[in-house]
Amino acid sequence: QVQLVESGGGLVQPGGSLRLSCAASGFTLDDYAIGWFRQAPGKEREGISCISSSDGSTYYADSVKGRFTVSRDNAKNTVYLQMNSLKPEDRAVYFCAAGWRNEYIYWGQGTQVTVSS
């Protein structure tokens, strides 16, 4: 059974940090590009980061560049998103997705991140 499960979300204060995990089962994660997305209430889903399957290159949206870092642990079949210097506007449900060429075909259910004093 193909599955992606996000974890690591929670409540943090502005300036704090969280590390999100995206764990794959039923397929080998490093065969796919892995994207991170987020969606806040009333807003469209936003792509914020991606790590490629071929050479490990990474991409970041301007809104998170310099604060977020995506990485792979192939032995654990897991991708991480390290989030530092969190801001209230980072509050959203965060999703990971596995991509093949031009399409993301597997999606997790999301994990809630709340940034508040």
Task: Of 79, 96, 100, 104, give the one whose Cα is nearest residue 31.
Answer: 100
Q: What is the pLDDT of residues 58-106, one digit of tens each?
A: 999 999 999 999 999 999 999 999 999 999 999 999 999 999 888 999 9
CA–CA separation, 40 and 59 (whole Å): 21
Per-residue pLDDT at 56 exceeds 90: no
CA–CA separation, 100 and 12 (whole Å): 33
What 3 state SS string does 11-49 have? EECCCCCEEEEEEEECCCHHHCEEEEEEECCCCCCEEEE
Per-residue pLDDT at 55 exceeds 90: no
Q: Are 5 and 22 in contact (CB under 8 A)?
A: yes
